[in-house]
A and B are shown apart, each in its own frame.
Chain A
Amino acid sequence: TQLLEQSPQFLSIQEGENLTVYCNSSSVFSSLQWYRQEPGEGPVLLVTVVTGGEVKKLKRLTFQFGDARKDSSLHITAAQPGDTGLYLCAGKYSGNTPLVFGKGTRLSVIA
Chain B
Amino acid sequence: EPEVTQTPSHQVTQMGQEVILRCVPISNHLYFYWYRQILGQKVEFLVSFYNNEISEKSEIFDDQFSVERPDGSNFTLKIRSTKLEDSAMYFCASSDRDRGLLRSYNSPLHFGNGTRLTVT
A and B part of one assembly? yes
Which residues of chain B are near A40, meaning CB under 8 Å?
113-114
Quick check: A42 and B91 within 8 Å, CB to CB? yes
**Choice from A31, A41, A43, A48 contacting B43 with Cβ under 8 Å:** A43
Docked CA distance A50–B103 (Å): 11
CA distance A76 to B103 in the complex (A): 31
Taking a contact as CB atoms under 8 Å apart, the answer to whether B105 and A43 are in contact is no
Q: A41-B114, A43-B91, A43-B111 are in contact. Are A100 and B45 (CB under 8 A)?
A: yes
Show the binding face of B for A, using Cβ within 8 Å: 4, 33, 35, 41-45, 48, 56, 58, 91, 93, 101-106, 108-114
Given the contacts A41-B114, A42-B91, A30 and B43 also touching, CB distance less than 8 Å: no
Interface of chain B, main secondary structure:
loop
Contact among B56, B93, B102, B109 for A50, CB-based, below 8 A = B102
A31 to B109, CA, bound (A): 13
In the complex, A88→B35 CA distance in Å? 14
Stretch from A19-27, A57-65, A101-109 forming part of the interface with B: A101-109
